[in-house]
Amino acid sequence: MRQKLMDFMRGRNGTDQLSMCMMWAACILVFIDMFVRSNILSTIAFVTFAFAYFRVFSRNIGKRRDENTWFLNKTYKLRMWGRKERNHMTMRKTHHIYRCPECKQKIRIPKGKGKIEIRCPKCSARFIKNS
Ligand SMILES: [Zn+2]
């Protein structure tokens, strides 16, 4: 079975970021559709699913790769922002983020060290904060 699937997928595009994103989008549309019950919404969800699967099983890998690259370029800023926010969230548990009062440089301080003097790495200004 596994071998058959691998044979089937050989020479095909497979999943990439664009088709994954489309499947997620379609799932969200289906979810929303459960509450609002709109024909348009379920049609869009269906078409999105269909196109995502078409891309996964497509043999025109060059074209699909171009589409994916286009998609990645278009969403680059959004993805970087999302990654930054995610890092921020996990960091918040262990670190404080302070801004230097002089130059507004962001400074990351590990939590749980009590009152400490912080020296700004950029302008060498010193200030005292609770960590
Ligand atoms: Zn500074």
Instruction: Taking the CA atoms of 102, 89, 75 and 71 in sequence, report the sign of the dihedral they define.
Output: positive
124 Cα–ligand 1 center, Å: 6
pLDDT given at position 38: 84
Q: For 31-46, what is the HEC assignment?
A: HHHHHHCCHHHHHHHH
Contact 60, 51 (CB under 8 A): no
Q: How far is the CA of 59 from the centre of ligand 1 (A)?
A: 55
Amino acid at 115: K
Q: One digit per residue, pLDDT tens: the chain, 131 residues?
A: 889 888 888 899 999 999 999 999 999 999 999 998 888 999 999 999 999 999 999 999 999 999 999 999 999 999 999 999 998 889 889 999 899 999 999 999 999 889 999 999 999 999 999 88
- How far is the centre of ligand 1, averaged over its atoms, from the C-alpha of 15 (Å)? 46
pLDDT at 46: 95
